[in-house]
Structure 1
Amino acid sequence: MEELYSSTLEVFQEKIGNPALQDSLNEICKYLSIPTPLLYKWDEGRIALAADIDVNLPSLKNYEDIDIRAVEPILMVFSLEKYPSTPPLITTDRTSFPKNNLAHLYIATEGKPPALCLVRGNFADWYARKRPQDLIKRIGNWFQDAATGNLSLDGEQFDPLRLENYTGILIYDYDKLAQTVNKKEDFLQDGNFAIVLFKRTADSTYKFVKFITESNYSETIEEVDEARKKKSQALQTDHYHIGYLIWGNEQDSFNKYLIKPPKNWDELKRYSNSYGIDVSLVEAYLSKDDKNYHKGVPIILAIRRPLKVIGFESEIEFSNHVAILDYTDKKDGQIVDDATVYLFSHNQSLNKAKAKIISGENEVTIGESIVIGCGALGSKIIMHLARGGQKNFLLFDPDKISSHNLVRHALLGEQLGMNKATALVSAIEGIFPDQETDCVAISTQFNPKVDNDFYEKFRWIFDFSASENVFNFLVNSSNTSTKVCQAYISDKGNLGLMFIEGENRNPRIDDQQAYLYSLSKEVDWISDWLKRENIIGEKNSTNITVGVGCNSETTILADDTISSHAAHFSKIIKRKNIIEQAEGSLNVYRIIDNEDEYSINAETILVPPFTIITAKNDPSWTIRLAEGITNNMLKTSAKAGKSEIGGIFIGVVNYKTKTIHVVDLIDAPPDSTANEICFHRGYNGLSELVGKITKSSGSQLGYVGEWHSHPHGPNCLSATDYETIDKFKAEFNSLLTPLPVFITIVTPEGILPYVFSS
């Protein structure tokens, strides 16, 4: 007669007070035609229902003659109080069940049969959407898959052990340990083990630090001893544990599953031997030469499987344990048999490739990048990019993390007092502990005096500094091979703007800024925003700073607002590495936040390249004309025929960069006069029209110059033109902010600009 696990259990005869559980038991018994249910006490708070499951076996024979039968006895273990939020545990009830030959069985709890791993993923989530009858069908299918050899979905890979009830976690890079095993990089000559330094980061979590080798042994042990001394003095220190990676003969592979984990040292030795791993050398070393001052000793057994382990690129499966060894457990070159051993799980340390896969961003490669500004916005964008596997950054920021920064910065209190760039690099290195991050921190201001050849090595320059000085440098840089991206937040956090330059840096970030201002003529929210910024600027200074830094304690801005902008901007950056385009992109992220509404509007405005002309008389000045400006001048001139004609330029003047942006034209006023040799620009209505544009743009746009045609030549300024220029100089010098005199003539040879500084 078949021996059953349930024969060792006590019969449960109490009343079930959980209505949902009672209903499910009734459904199961009805579905399986069980007239009188057999219920047993499983443990405190749980009961087990015994049932028989019909299995559809192969017509010829079972896969590899595995002992799966046409009727399989099972135990369905239910929580008396937590069901159905806690789903049932399904175990075999047959003591002779071939548990060592099957995948998808959980390692058994002491004295209990192994549980079936019924689904990939979260079983509780699966069961939440299913009926008890569905569970019975899935159990039958599991046994059928076992009988036909289909438990593993990929027959070309090996299913690893299923872990449950493990005590803690060992964090390490699988490939790094597998490489050490395959290359037999043993600590002792002709040995079968390597020594690994772990750092305990939580009570039961050990993180890989490095391999201890002959070359670094002395300095590592000194480091461990220094930590021990600090601990003895009750000082804060790292908790180091020296562990051991042990392997067997590379010729021997094993496909069996030992589902009963070792609980003590003697069981660990027998467990290891069953996989061809001899631990005697490690045992001798542990008892005499081990330098651990903590009791926990990580032990990692490298089990060689016949196929590559699912999810990895090697045939090695690691079985992870921690032995608790006091000095009294070490005697005569051996470890006492009853020394406690715990089962641990492996957690794969993150690397760049894995981060990309998890993020679903395999195609994104940003490349080497300079980042200017590691404050609230910059830090969040960089951490978004880093967590997605992007990590080749040269970070610039001179500031340290202050207490008030913690309200909005991506980093936390542990970095208080650290330089922002340095702290970010440290955080990124912590994400990828076993891989070079290629991140460098510069704890000074961004240096614009460095040769342009240096910047040409980088694919991107990201400016999150909200600095006019940095803005001007980026505008003046002659480097055209590096993409420039600038982002800032304005309008009390309700507006985020990101400018990404076009091909060969045309349009540049200043072109796009001027283009944005020009949209105030047609887009109400842009006009309203610029007017608000103008009011703020008038209260504080004569200049408007469109864009807000978050470094001041007086800046009122919530963390979730910054995070919202940062998440949007990082997605835009990633997209721009996949979708290449010649135009610049002006990316707008608006938050509408008032008593009646909270909503978000995002749009991307493509900005065409600007026409770039150097002043004929003074090459230090550059004129950048928005799309359509030159064509409109040429069309207007052609329409006038033999008569001269002219108009007004609307735009922005930047003395620092010596750039004039022209974004719009105004026709000559109606009182203007012209003939074949002369054009006199009139005044009627001009001041009011320019004033309207200036007001609509929050004083960002205004009169910057004017043009007229020379249909018959000369191809230069005439004597009359010079007289007009002298008058303009005298007039412009009296302005609060003097303007250069900017005159352009349209001649048969082309468009000829002239700029005269006031």
Structure 2
Amino acid sequence: MSNIESKQFSFLKGINSEIQRGITLIRSHPSVNEILEVRLNTEDNSVDAVVAVQLGLPNKWMAEGKSPNGVSAIEAVTFSFPQSFPIHAPIVKLRADFDRSLAHVNPGSPEEAVLPCIYDGDINELLLFQGLLAIVDKYLPENVTDVGSLRERAKEFGCNKNFERAFSFLQQRLKWLDSKNATFPIAVILCVRRPFHLIGESSEIELVPYILEVGAPQLLAKDDKTPVWSAVHKYAITPQLLQTFSGERQLPENQDIVLIGCGSLGSKIAIHMARSGIAPSIVVDHKNLSPHNAARHALLPEAINKDSTWFGSKARATALAIKGLGQDSSYFDADVTQAVHDSKLLKKLFPRKAWAVINTTASLTVREALAAIEAKKLPLRVIETSLFAEGKVGLMTIEGPGRNPNSVDLIAQAYELIRVSEKLRNAVFVAEDSTSYHVTGQGCGSRTMIISDARISMLAAPMATGISKMLAKGLPSTSGRILLGAVDEDDIGLSWTPVDVPPFHVVPINDDSSWTVRISEPAHQKILKDCANYPNVETGGILVGRIFQTQQAFVVTDVLPAPENSQRSRFEFVLGTSGNMLEKYLSSCNGALYCLGTWHSHLTDSGASNQDLQTAKKIANSRTLPSVLLIRTPVKYYAVSASIF
């Protein structure tokens, strides 16, 4: 039986109530036989509670009172409570002569109490999260303290030959040098082959690292008594490590991501992705950092010479930050809009094997330039991110397969979604421009949206999350997508609404023109429904949306019904003018969407008549903006315009 004798205990004066409760709680644990002793340490006012813990040895060892290596059936375990308990957890100690060859024993002097490693993490956090019993419930016990014991350990691991060979080689190299009594640290890593893969690893090799101080010409100042310290093995920063801790899947090889825009929003999305191990492999921005960017940029100015160093390329700075996170990223200080007419630049910026392009610039020019590049020249789908209304609204659009719908289709459709939502409409379509000019130095300034770093992060984080989700599961397979994020009235909550956008119906104008009409699916369905309602006469209505000059496209987002005084017959449709429906529509979106022209039906599959051509000329002469006349037949669409050449 154990030689531990039962002793009565009582709480001494000076032991606070929190520690008393902790000791009482330990006593209630089913593996605790009794509290053997409670003592107050006068040096630091810590309180030691010596506890008899029944280990549950096998019956044979239980009968003998201990295991072959000397572990008793009932062990005395000391819980040393600091006065700061329960903010700080007690230290658990075993007797000094406890077998140090067991696993999970922290290194220490043979004369001192054994300190077992009882929890993989911060024990103070464990205490506050699960309580004291979580600490009492588990304790598992390295006794390498000098070169002599390190040699023995290497022998036990079967590493002694290589260990001695390495030390001999090092001794030979250092004997011709003189460190003048100074020492320097070296690492010794024993590579131990285990019978199975280590837990959480794909290898059966365990790395057991140590640190010791060596000198020259004498390698070991105290020979085998030279102190040795256990070290901790940490992984390097790699994409795999970051992906593991972020819950991300590893990207296939050559799956490049191109990010355009390394400003406030773009840098945050780039760094979020980099920290997840899925950093953009190409970053593009032709602008330089400026001191005012420090207010909202994901990167931080250096503490030393911050005012003189915060002027370089945004793209280069972002690429260097990504490199610091163990990933390679090429940077280009290029104007993306030049790629429309520069095939060499296009190939350099957008590798054909890349996964997608992320446009974070909020630039109308960049958006239209990318949309103007044919899908066969730029097959990569574009994901666009932007903020509106001083950060009250976030928008992310994802182009569809074959880049239909493309970014300009989607921004126009997003305006329509915003228009029909009272909350979004009141935030976005206001009379005042949310961007304004702000001085950044004498004679210098920037047109920007005033918005806090926290607000940008609030919207950038879910955007980055959405992108990583698509990386894992794939881009939308049959459509484009719009995601609208709206910040709640309390400025804390945030809700996102996804809307899948089917491909647009593309109709060439005047047959030989490069211009097209791009009709959204909702508008197309309204036209079909109106034709079905009037199968025996021509009918029609008003086209609304936006014109994109660079892409040479009329993008139709909606169709307004014909006014009440419109005239329908088998051979003609005359659009009425009664009411103020169009004015109401324009005011509901502050002119972001507007009239593009008209549409009408033909009862047979016929193109534009002479009367249609005359009507197109009449409309063109009455408007400053280009206009289009769309014809729907039972089979297809035709489009004519006298405004384009």
Same fold (TM over 0.5): yes
Letter in 2 for 1:440: S
Corresponding letter in the other structure for 1:647: G
1:536 paired residue among 430, 433, 438 = 433
1:706 to 2:598 alignment? yes
**2:532 is aligned with 1:648:** no
> What SS class does the counterpart of residue 37 from structure 1 fall into?
strand
Percent of aligned pairs with the same amino acid = 23
Paired letter, 2:115:
A
Aligned residue number for residue 690 of structure 1: 582
Match of residue 589 from structure 1: 485
Contact 1:527 1:698 in 2 (8 A): no
- Name the count of aligned residue pairs: 602
**Cα 1:392/1:740, change in 2 over 3 Å:** closer
Matches within 5 A, 1:235-274: 258-262=142-146
Unaligned runs of 5+ in 2: 5-9, 303-308, 438-444
Superposed CA deviations along residues 679-738 of structure 1, whole A, max 9, x for unmatched, are: 3333222xx21111011011012211112233357x233222233233223222xxxxx2
Q: Secondary structure at the match of 2:641?
A: strand
- Alpha carbons of structure 1 residues 373 and 494: separation in structure 2 relative to 1, 3 Å: same
Q: How does 1:147-546 map to 2 (within 5 A)?
A: 258-262=142-146, 276=160, 277-278=163-164, 279-288=167-176, 295-307=183-195, 308-325=197-214, 329-331=215-217, 335-337=221-223, 341-362=228-249, 367-414=255-302, 416-432=310-326, 437-446=327-336, 447-448=338-339, 449-451=341-343, 454-479=350-375, 481-520=379-418, 522-532=420-430, 534-536=431-433
Q: TM-score, normalised by structure 2?
A: 0.82
Paired with 1:717 and 1:129, the residues of 2 have a C-alpha distance of: 76
CA distance in 2, matches of 1:304, 1:110: 24
Contact 2:93 2:115 in 1 (8 A): yes
Instruction: Measure the CA separation in 1 of the matches of 2:219 and 2:121.
Output: 45
Is the 8 Å Cα contact of residues 29 and 35 (structure 1) preserved in structure 2? yes
For 2:486, the aligned partner's letter is R
CA contact (8 A) 1:74 1:92 kept: yes
Cα 1:478–1:129 change in 2 (3 A) is closer
Label 1:571 to 1:365 Cα distance change in 2 as closer, same or farther (>3 A): farther
Structure 1 residue 430 displacement after superposition: 1.5
State the distance in 1 between where 2:564 and 2:36 align: 104
Give the distance between the partners of 1:538 and 1:274, measured in 2 at CA.
Answer: 70
CA contact (8 A) 2:118 2:135 kept: no
Q: RMSD in angstroms over aligned alpha carbons?
A: 3.7
What amino acid is aligned across from residue 607 of structure 1 in structure 2?
V
**1:611 corresponds to:** 505
Q: In 2, distance between residues paired with 1:293 and 1:484?
A: 63
2:57 and 2:67 in contact (8 A); partners too: no
Q: Decide whether the 8 Å contact of 1:16 with 1:80 is kept in 2.
A: no
* Alignment map for 1:90-101 (pairs within 5 Å): 90-93=92-95, 95=97, 97-100=98-101
- Shift of the 615–295 alpha-carbon distance from structure 1 to 2, 3 Å rule, reads farther
**Post-superposition CA distance 1:445-483 (Å, at most 9, x none):** 224234366543321000001112210122112126422
**Distance verdict in 2 for CA 1:501–1:123, change over 3 Å:** same
Give the aligned partner of residue 225 of structure 1: none
Q: Give the superposition deviation at 1:427.
A: 1.5
Q: Does 1:18 align with 2:39?
A: no
Q: Deviations over 1:19-47 (max 9, x none)?
A: 32244446657986758726485975545
Distance 1:72 1:259, change over 3 A: farther
Cα distance in 1 for residues equivalent to 2:35 and 2:462? 61
Deviations 1:162-216 (A, max 9, x none): 8xxxxxxxxxxxxxxxxxxxxxxxxxxxxxxxxxxxxxxxxxxxxxxxxxxxxxx
**Deviation readout 1:402-461 (Å, 9 max, x if unpaired):** 2221211111113733322212222222122xxxx2411112222423436654332100
Are 1:720 and 2:611 counterparts? yes
TM-score by length of 1: 0.71
User: What residue identity is the alignment partner of 1:348?
Assistant: Y
Judged with a 3 Å threshold, the aligned counterparts in structure 2 of structure 1 residues 641 and 91 are, in CA distance, closer, same or farther, namely closer
Change (3 A) 1:110 1:749: same
When residues 109 and 397 of structure 1 are mapped into structure 2, their CA distance, relative to the original with a 3 A threshold, is farther
**Cα distance in structure 1, aligned partners of 2:52 and 2:534:** 99
SS of 2:599 mapped into structure 1: strand
DSSP-derived class of the 1:676 partner: coil
Shift of 1:364: 6.6
Note closer, same or farther for the CA distance 1:303–1:628 as it changes in structure 2 (3 Å cut): closer
Q: What is the Cα deviation at residue 120 of structure 1?
A: 4.1
Measured at CA, do residues 391 and 516 of structure 1 come closer, stay the same or move farther in structure 2, by a change above 3 Å? closer
Q: Distance in 2 between matches of 1:405 and 1:499?
A: 25
Q: CA 1:624–1:291 in 2, change beyond 3 Å: closer, same or farther?
A: farther
Q: Which amino acid aligns with 1:757?
A: S
Shift of 1:619: 2.7
The letter of the residue matching 1:709 is S
Distance 1:28 1:539 in 2: 65
Q: Distance in 2 between matches of 1:538 and 1:336?
A: 71
Cα 1:521/1:18, change in 2 over 3 Å: closer
SS in 1 for 2:408: helix
Equivalent residue, structure 2, for 1:666:
560
Counterparts of 2:586 and 2:460, CA distance in 1: 31
For 1:465 and 1:564, the matched residues in 2 are separated by: 18
Q: Distance in 1 between matches of 2:602 and 2:132?
A: 91
Partner in structure 1 of residue 467 of structure 2: 573
Q: Deviations over 1:524-575 (max 9, x none)?
A: 123323431x4328999xxxxxxxxxx9386421110011111010111122
Matches of 2:291 and 2:527, distance apart in 1: 56
Query: 1:125 is matched with which residue?
Result: 125
Aligned to 2:440: none
1:79 shift after superposition:
3.5
Shift of 1:107: 1.9
Change (3 A) 1:319 1:351: same
Q: Secondary structure at the match of 1:331?
A: coil
Write the distance in 1 (CA, Å) between the matches of 2:178 and 2:602: 93
Deviation at residue 392 of structure 1 after TM alignment: 4.8
